[in-house]
Amino acid sequence: MQKLTHTDLYSLEAYARERPAFRARVLEHKKARIVHVGDHVTLVFEDRLTVQYQIQEMLRVERIFEAAGIAEELEAYNPLIPDGANLKATMLIEYPDADLRARKLLELHDIENRVTLQVGDLAPIAAIADEDLERSTDTKTAAVHFLRFELDAAQLAAFSHAEVAIAIDHPAYRVRSALATATREALARDFA
């Protein structure tokens, strides 16, 4: 999938006009790219459109319009775009109550390194977590992680017709979630 460049982005003025329609399009697009893994972990599989939205929102909120600032945002977010043989996801650990969340982030230490993607009966693919920077400490995990799943040729070939599931095998959180057909089909387009 092609990385974003400055020319792919709306100016702040144009984005102010286009934002309602663009935001609605992105939110609809994301529906098939969200996977709930149990009750408290969600993976949002990123692609060019979801990353463009994140960049546009950062530029809007931070009022960034200079070329250097835009280049920094592109450099920060472009690595989230899949590049042919992988899937990339934002992993969110969600507990609405702040005190409970704080306790759970201690219990779930290292959960980001215990996530796998399973394509049919092929070998599970271990997530590569937080390549850009370390988000966890020695004692607790962070509430947000970035994951990459690298697929081999057999997994890529089977992806569009096999059952695909996400599993987490952590002592405090063991769960497996099969991807809905619409999700599998949406993610298969990331390999084009």
Q: What is the structure's pLDDT at 134?
A: 67
| pTM of model > 0.85 | yes
User: Going along 39-131, which residue ranges are E strands?
Assistant: 41-45, 86-93, 115-119, 125-126, 128-129
Whether residue 20 sits in one domain with residue 41: no
The C-alpha atoms of residue 35 and residue 31 are separated, in whole angstroms, by 9
Q: What is the structure's pLDDT at 138?
A: 75
- The number of domains in the chain is 2
Whether residue 184 sits in one domain with residue 96: yes
Whether residue 160 sits in one domain with residue 134: yes
The C-alpha atoms of residue 32 and residue 189 are separated, in whole angstroms, by 12
Q: What is the structure's pLDDT at 136?
A: 66
Whether residue 164 sits in one domain with residue 99: yes
Q: What is the structure's pLDDT at 81?
A: 94
Q: What is the structure's pLDDT at 9?
A: 95
Element spanning 48, H or E: helix 48-62
Whether residue 89 sits in one domain with residue 7: no
Q: What is the CATH number of the domain that holds 112?
A: 2.60.40
Q: Which of 30, 25, 172, 17 is nearest to 105 (CA)?
A: 172
Whether residue 156 sits in one domain with residue 66: no
Q: What is the structure's pLDDT at 84?
A: 87
Whether residue 153 sits in one domain with residue 125: yes
Tens digits of pLDDT across the chain (192 residues): 789 999 999 999 999 999 999 999 999 999 999 999 999 999 999 999 999 999 999 999 999 889 899 999 999 899 999 998 999 999 999 999 999 999 999 999 999 999 999 999 999 999 999 766 566 667 789 999 999 999 999 999 999 999 999 999 999 999 999 999 999 999 999 997
Whether residue 22 sits in one domain with residue 101: no
Whether residue 115 sits in one domain with residue 158: yes
- DSSP-based three-state secondary structure for 9: coil
Are 45 and 187 spatial neighbours (Cβ–Cβ below 8 Å)? yes
- Residue 40: give the domain boundaries: 33-46+85-192
Whether residue 111 sits in one domain with residue 136: yes
Whether residue 131 sits in one domain with residue 69: no
- Neighbouring C-beta atoms of residue 49, cutoff 10 Å: 17
Whether residue 65 sits in one domain with residue 126: no
What's the maximum distance between 2 C-alpha atoms anywhere in the chain? 50
